[in-house]
Each structure stands twice: as structure tokens, then as C-alpha cells.
Chain A
Amino acid sequence: MIENLDLGMVNWARAQFALTAMYHWIFVPLTLGISWIIAFYHTIYVRTGSEEWKRLTRFWMKLFGINFAIGVATGIIMEFEFGTNWSNYSWMVGDIFGAPLAVEGIVAFFIEATFFAVMFFGWNRVSKGFHLFSTWMVAVGSNLSAVWILVANSWMQYPVGQAFNPDTARFEMQNFFEVALSPFAVNKFTHTTSASMMMGALFIISISSWYLLRGRHVIMAKRSIVVAASLGLIASIFTIFNGDESAYQIAQVQPMKLAAVEGLYEGQTNAGLAVFGVINQDKKVYDSQPAFTGFNVHVPGVLSLMANRSFGSFVPGMKDLTYGNAEHNILGAAQKMELGQKAVASLDAYRQAKKAGDAAAAEVQLAAFNENKVHLGYGYLNKADEAVPPVALNFYAFRIMIALGILFPLIFIGYLLFSYRGSLERKKCLLGLGTITYVLGIIASQAGWIVAEVGRQPWAIQDLLPVTVARTNLTAGTVQTTFFMFLVLFTLLLIAEISIMAKQINIGPEEN
């Protein structure tokens, strides 16, 4: 199955997907989050009839439109990249993965596309009520489109509601509701959309703070901040809670990811959460070097609490999950590889027996395959330690996300408090911090996705399909070429977007 494997190609294909996903994710959270906030602004305008609120709504809408366009541009490549760079994956899981993408198109994208034009151009063409309805529908459509792609992504992390069909050599859907309503999907959606709402709020706060520091558009900026900070605070608290739930789910379903995120090599009871540390990058899963170099801080028991909802519980480390731990009844990747290789061999033998018309032999081989099929993906690994994802990247990305995730609600509280007291304009330090919060938000949100995606390596589908099998049969040079093509194109578009956005912000609402 993986003969002629070009590892360079796999890594370039991963790099390309990471590149396109990261670019896309610069713009999408803002679209998802600010669409709701604009809907609130628009509602206030319709209820009050105040021209100031109308001006404010149109200003943020203008910035929304600039961001939306590039979000769409960077998004189309994502859907088709599954086919171009990951065609084996597309075949093996298309029966399950394709359905959410199609549902996304039918029920979400069209809402977004249809009402987008009304939201922007309907000011004098439709009634005020229908115009407002359209603005809300853009927010609903944008966020609905996130539902389905996140369902698909969650299924890759936690492949439920499926079975492998040895005749078609693919995974097939058995229960749509298990796929669509998996706890992983529900949590990922709430975590992503609440974080996006926070991003929308941070964007508004950044620009409004800049206006306040320069004494421009003061009333608009203050009004924008009050609504954005209120919604941002609610969203940020919600993000922390469902982030905690996310950690619990990862511990149950992807323990290797959690261990990598924590730099935890040896399993521990009453395991401590690493608050700070410098990862020893020379450390291998099989050697006895220390996991951290120099100073590191752990809070005892907290990782056990996060992982199992119990302080004294055992949290497996990367070594346990790679080589097994009989005491805690943990099957390691090494043992799973043996079972996976048996599954692969049984599958081949089953096919040959079927081809030869030997029904009895086919039945025997199928039974053998079914016995080991849950470890099928491990059959394609070459070494057990391939099951360990990059530790340092996960460790640092997770800490960046958490630190910033704690900072954001404090910033929102600060803005609300000083707005209430009427002294916000005088808080220059807070406003200075406020102007860069959106950039911090982008960093936090990118870090979150790094943990989600790099943390599940080497799997395209957790435990079932490694990226080395999921790829298209292309040369590394081909993927390299398109990698740099997209790098140049997206970078140029990003530069243009930032330039246009900066100019529009500088012009401000008067001229818009």
C-alpha cells in the first residue's frame, strides 16, 4: 500500500495544508465572531434609529467585507486540497467526510452567500426589518458553515459511527448522528465559535483603542467597545470552560496528544500540570534523559484532574503509550503495530482468497482481520516511536494559547470597568495593550490549531490512517511547487488586505 512512499512529499503536503489552513484561519475567526457583533450593532440601530449607530454598523461592516473576501479566497483551496494532496484519504474516508462538506454547502454556504449581498447592498433596496434579518443570517450562515467542517475535523480526531469495508477498502458511515453529534464535535464547535466571538471582540477593541489613543471617533469607539467587550467577556469565559472539557476529551481519546502537550514521557499518578518549562529537544521517547532542561514549574495533581477529573489518577506518558505499560493495562504502539500488521496481512489474504473464489478461506481471513482491525493504522507505521507527535511544538503552542486565553477576559473586564467609570480614555497603558490584542488573539487561535492538528500526528484519522498512507501519489517537487505558489499568492493577498484594511481604518467611519 505504501510502496514507493516519498516521505518528502508527505511532509511537503503536510506543510502545504498547514500553510493554507493557517492563512485561512487568520481571517475566518474574525468573520465568525464579528458577524455576531455587527448583528448586535445593527439591531441597536434599527431599535434606536440613531444615525450614529448606523454609521458605526456600516463602518464595521466595511471591514468585515474586506476580511470576508480573503477568507473565501483562502477557503476554497482547503476543500479541494483534500483531493489534490490527500487523494488516498479522500477515497478511504470520503463516504463519511464528504457528507458534512456537502451539508455545509447546502445548508450554510448558501445562507451566507445569499444574505451577504443584502447585508451590504440592501440599505435602500429592502425593508429595515429584512435588512436586519439578513445581517443576522450572515452570522448564522457563517457559523453554520463552521459546524460542518468542525464535525468533519472532529471525526478525524475521534472516528466514531464508522466501519471499515474490506471489499471497498474504505471506511463507511454507519451512523450519521454519531458523527454529527459526537461529543468531540460539539465541544470543538463551541470552543471554536466562542473563541471566534472573542476574536471579533478583540478586533473591535484593537481598532477602537487606537482611535481613543488618537482622540478620533471617540463616541463610536466607546460604543463599539462596550458591546464588543461585553460579548467578548462572555465568550472568553465560555472558551475557558469548553477548553477544559476539550482537554478531558483529548485525555480519553488521544492520550498521546495530551502527553506530548505536557512533555510527559513517564506516566504518573497525581500528575502535575506544567506551567512553565524548557523542553529538552534531544530527548527521545526510549531514552532516560530528562524531559525538561533547567527550571520548570509543575502544579501537582492538576493534570490528573484535567485528564480524568480526579487528582490521584494515572496519566499515561509517551513512553507508556509507545511501548506499553502492563501495570496500568496500557497497550503500546509497539504492540498495536504487531496487531495492525496482522490486520493488513489478513486484509491482503482476504482479497486474494476472494479473487481466487475461495469463499471459505476468505471468511477465515475476514474473521482474522476483524479481530485486529481497530489497530489497522498501526500496521502502516515503521517504528513505534513514529506514533509520538512533535513534543516541543505542542508544548509551547499549548502554553501560549492558555496564557493568552487567561489574559483576554482580564482585558475585557478592564475595558468594561473603565468604560463604566467613564475613565477609559485616560487609561493609556490599557489602550496601548488593547491595540495589539487582536494580534495576540491571532497568535492564540493559531496556537490552538497547532495543538489540535500537530498533536494528532502521525494520524490523518486517529489510529486508523497515518498521513503516509493518506497522501496522493505525487512527487515532492510537485507539491513543493504548489506550496511556494500558494505561499507567494497568499502572502501577497495578505499584504494587500492589511494595506486596504489599514487605510480604511485610517479613513474611519466618516468617509465610509
Chain B
Amino acid sequence: MIESLDYVTLQHLWWLLCSVVGALFLAMTFVQGGQSLLWQVAKTQTEKDLIINSLGRKWELTFTTLVLFGGALFASFPKFYSTSFGGAYWVWIAILFTFIVQAVSYEFRKKPRNIFGSLIYEGFLFLNGVVGILLIGAAVGTFFTGSNFQLDANNFVTWTHPLRGLEAALTPSFSSVFNIALGVFLVFNARTLGAMYLINNLELSEAPDMETRLRAATWQNLLLSLPFCLLVVGSLLFMPGYGIVDGTIKIVSFKYLQNLVANPWLLVLLLIGLGLLVTGVWKTARTKATRGIWCGGIGTVLVGLTVLLLPAYNNTAFYPSKTHLESSLTIYNASSSPYTLKVMTYVALTIPFVLAYIAYVWWLMDRQKLKIEDTGDKAAY
């Protein structure tokens, strides 16, 4: 069956698979959200330890999902990989920096003689939770607002702005506002998810004060995320986009609205996703429910899928160049060869198996809630 797939189908399929991984990553950013909540909701050392030990058992899954997102993009859309990473240099370096310091912080934070002290490692976790996600959001924003690059005959990139990617957030323009709004929305959404995850994962009868703070945090962060969400969705409905018209890239009015109309299922995904998010938060904040994270997580996956599919499907340039329209990347000109995409599709058949064992192990490890006594375990963070 895979052998009979044509090139265009493979290109669409692989953008979908990358988007699924990207959307799963956004849902898994509950780890980053929880990190950024640490100083706000944990008022005692015991409460801090509970949060760190809960998130510490999941951080690597989030990290690995991000690495897979990068690897899948490299394999299936190498021109995006080379253009964006080589071009928007400072944005990616800053994002990487926040993930490098995250990786050691759980393990090192409470170990004796860790040189820098716990506070610094907690600071690294906060940095990763806020700046890392904000910049990832701003980078995704450029899928809609465009970037400053030009490709030569060999498809080698020249970035035409001296800030090398940081201009996506730092120049006074609508593009920056949109990109930052998407980033801030993702930060608050991650915090909402983080609070819901902790409510689900921790035995909070042992820390009732923190439970109150966590439940309040879900509601606060949802409310804080809403204006940014509305700004992003509202802009998408009215802003022009970069479409493929008669084989060339052109600026098209209401392009993303057109994409939603052409693919109404994307609108359905978006609305269901936002509905699930609000439902999860509502139940968590207003009742004693502990499973809001599942609604919120699935909702985030659906919203993430919409955000990643909208700028690529329906003859749209997913990585537009503002300065040289012809250089804009589409899923047609940026993808790997049909042979590589087919090989990768065979490999992707293992994904359900991977998801199944992750789900099984997750269930096995989380069927008992994390208690204070677990933070005294010899292997604890």
C-alpha cells in the first residue's frame, strides 16, 4: 500500500505526521508549564520536591518528543531544517540553550555539592518553562507571518535580517505582535496543563494548600491565555497569507480563512480542541475533578494540529519568505525524495507500537499517585 502512494500524498502525509509529533510536544509541555509554576504554587520545600519529582518522571518524554519533532522535520522536510536552523540562528540557539540547562536540572538540583545550589537549577527550569516555550511559539508564528531569507540556486540560505530570527519577536510590527502572542499563549497554556497534570499526578491530600493554589492556577492561566488566543485566532481569520498561485508564491488576502473554509475539519479540530481545554480547566478549577489534564492535553493536541496544518495545506507556503517570495518553502519544494518518504513511512508504522508501550508504562507508573514519602526515595530528585 505504501508503495502505491504518490509523491503529493506522501508530502501531505509527512507534514501531518510532523504536525502530530509537534502537537504531542505542545501537550507534553505540561512539564515546562509545571516548571514555571514551581515558585508560584510550592511554598514549602516538601511541596517543591513533590512538583519536581512528579515532573522529573516525565521531562525526558517531552524532551524526546521535541528531538523527534526536529528529527522528523530534518528527514522529511530538510529544506525547512536547513533554512530555518541555519537562518534563524539566534532563536534556535536560545531555544537549545534552555533545553540544555533543563536536562541537567532535575538530576543535579538536590544532589550534594552541585556547585550552583538548588535555586540556580530551579531558575534553569523556570527559564526553560517560560523562555523556551515562548520562543518556540514565536518560531511557529513565522509559519504565518514569514521570515527574512533568500535561497540561491543550490537552495543555500542567506538570512537578510541582522538579528537572525530574533526579529520575529523584537521588531515593532504586526508580525512580532502575532508571533509573541502565539508564544505567550503557549506559555500560559503550558502552565494551565502543568497545573492540571500536577493535580492529577500528586497525592494532594498531603498538601491541601498547594491543591488550592494549583486549582486556582488552572483558571488564572486559562484566563491569561485567552486574550492571546483570541488575538491569534482573530488575526488568522483576517490576515493575508502566502499561497501557491499558478505555481508561484503570492500574497493572498484572507488566505488562512480560505484554508479553514477549504478544510472545515481544521475548524472543527480547533473548536473541539479549545472546547476540551476550557472543559478541562472548568472541571479542575470548579470541582474536585483530577482528570482535567486529559481533556486539556487532548484539546492542546487538536489546537496544535490546527496551528501546524493550517499554514501548510491547501497550496500554502508553510515557511514564507517576506523578502523573496520565490524562496518560500512549501511542502512540495521542501520535502525529501519520494523514496526517502516511503522508507520513512514504513518506519512510521512502528509509531502505534511506540505509543502503546509509552501508554502502558505511563499507566503502570502513575496508577498510584505520587506521595511525600516518594520524594524521600533514594532515587528521588
Q: Is the CB of A90 within 8 A of B103?
A: no
Q: Is the CB of B153 within 8 A of A169?
A: yes
Is B255 at the interface (CB under 8 A from chain A)?
Answer: no
* Chain B min CB distance to A310 (Å): 38
* Chain B min CB distance to A45 (Å): 15
Residue of A nearest to B66 (CB): A76
Is A252 at the interface (CB under 8 A from chain B)?
Answer: no
Q: Is the CB of A121 within 8 A of B92?
A: no
Is B75 at the interface (CB under 8 A from chain A)?
Answer: yes
Please list 21 pairs of residues, one from A and one from B, whose beta carbons are closer than 8 Å in the complex, sorted by A's number. A70-B103, A72-B103, A73-B101, A77-B96, A87-B83, A90-B82, A94-B82, A94-B336, A97-B74, A98-B74, A99-B343, A99-B347, A117-B57, A117-B361, A117-B365, A173-B339, A173-B340, A474-B89, A485-B97, A500-B114, A504-B111
Interface hit among A102-110, A199-207, A322-330, A443-451:
A102-110
A69 to B379 CA separation, bound complex (whole angstroms):
14
Residue of B nearest to A495 (CB): B115
Instruction: Kindly count the residue-residue contacts between A and B in the assembled complex, taking CB atoms under 8 Å apart.
Output: 257
B101 contacts across to A, CB distance below 8 A: 73, 489
**Given A90-B85, A118-B365, A473-B156: 9 more A-B contacts, CB < 8 Å:** A69-B103, A76-B103, A80-B70, A95-B340, A109-B68, A117-B60, A125-B365, A172-B337, A492-B116
Choose from A76, A91, A117 the contact partner of B96 (Cβ within 8 Å).
Answer: A76
Using a Cβ–Cβ cut-off of 8 Å, how many residues does chain A contribute to the interface with B? 85
A170 to B163 CA separation, bound complex (whole angstroms):
28
Is B286 at the interface (CB under 8 A from chain A)?
Answer: no
Q: Is the CB of B104 within 8 A of A84?
A: no
Q: Is the CB of A109 within 8 A of B155?
A: no
A13 to B217 CA separation, bound complex (whole angstroms):
44
Is B262 at the interface (CB under 8 A from chain A)?
Answer: no
Is A123 at the interface (CB under 8 A from chain B)?
Answer: yes
A88 contacts across to B, CB distance below 8 A: 82, 86, 154, 156
Q: Is the CB of B155 within 8 A of A169?
A: yes
Q: Is the CB of A83 within 8 A of B84?
A: yes
Q: Is the CB of A125 within 8 A of B347?
A: no
Choose from B86, B347, B357 the contact partner of A84 (Cβ within 8 Å).
Answer: B86
A120 contacts across to B, CB distance below 8 A: 379
Q: What is the predominant secondary structure among interface residues of chain B facing chain A?
A: helix
Q: Is the CB of A91 within 8 A of B100?
A: no
* Chain A min CB distance to B321 (Å): 15
Is B351 at the interface (CB under 8 A from chain A)?
Answer: yes
Choose from A79, A173, A493, A503 the contact partner of B71 (Cβ within 8 Å).
Answer: A79
Q: Is the CB of A79 within 8 A of B379?
A: no
* Chain B min CB distance to A96 (Å): 7
Is A115 at the interface (CB under 8 A from chain B)?
Answer: yes
B159 contacts across to A, CB distance below 8 A: 473
A74 to B114 CA separation, bound complex (whole angstroms):
18
B78 contacts across to A, CB distance below 8 A: 90-91, 94-95, 98, 170
Is B245 at the interface (CB under 8 A from chain A)?
Answer: no
Choose from B86, B351, B365 the contact partner of A87 (Cβ within 8 Å).
Answer: B86
Q: Is the CB of B114 within 8 A of A95?
A: no
Is B237 at the interface (CB under 8 A from chain A)?
Answer: no
Q: Is the CB of A74 within 8 A of B92?
A: no
Choose from A74, A83, A110 the contact partner of B81 (Cβ within 8 Å).
Answer: A83
Is B205 at the interface (CB under 8 A from chain A)?
Answer: no
Q: Is the CB of A69 within 8 A of B85?
A: no
A288 contacts across to B, CB distance below 8 A: none
* Chain B min CB distance to A457 (Å): 21
Choose from B72, B97, B156, B344 the contact partner of A489 (Cβ within 8 Å).
Answer: B97
**What is the 8 Å Cβ interface bit string for chain B, positions 91-127, against chain A (1 contact, 0 not)?**
0110011011101101110011111100000000000
A174 contacts across to B, CB distance below 8 A: 339
Choose from B67, B84, B164, B343 the contact partner of A109 (Cβ within 8 Å).
Answer: B67
Is B61 at the interface (CB under 8 A from chain A)?
Answer: yes
Is B350 at the interface (CB under 8 A from chain A)?
Answer: yes
A466 to B366 CA separation, bound complex (whole angstroms):
50
Q: Is the CB of B82 within 8 A of A61?
A: no
Contacts A117-B57, A173-B337; A84 near B103 (Cβ below 8 A):
no
B76 contacts across to A, CB distance below 8 A: 98, 102
Choose from B67, B86, B339, B350 the contact partner of A76 (Cβ within 8 Å).
Answer: B67
Is B64 at the interface (CB under 8 A from chain A)?
Answer: yes
A176 to B338 CA separation, bound complex (whole angstroms):
12
Residue of A nearest to B67 (CB): A105
A474 to B157 CA separation, bound complex (whole angstroms):
10
Choose from B57, B87, B350, B365 the contact partner of A106 (Cβ within 8 Å).
Answer: B350
Is B378 at the interface (CB under 8 A from chain A)?
Answer: yes
Q: Is the CB of A83 within 8 A of B74?
A: yes
A84 to B116 CA separation, bound complex (whole angstroms):
29
Is B158 at the interface (CB under 8 A from chain A)?
Answer: yes
Choose from B74, B93, B111, B153 the contact partner of A94 (Cβ within 8 Å).
Answer: B74
Contacts A115-B361, A130-B364, A474-B89; A102 near B72 (Cβ below 8 A):
yes
Contacts A69-B106, A72-B60; A500 near B111 (Cβ below 8 A):
yes
Q: Is the CB of A69 within 8 A of B340?
A: no
Is A396 at the interface (CB under 8 A from chain B)?
Answer: no
Q: Is the CB of A502 within 8 A of B113?
A: yes
A176 to B344 CA separation, bound complex (whole angstroms):
10
Q: Is the CB of B365 within 8 A of A121?
A: yes
Is A218 at the interface (CB under 8 A from chain B)?
Answer: no
Q: Is the CB of A170 within 8 A of B60?
A: no
B57 contacts across to A, CB distance below 8 A: 117, 121
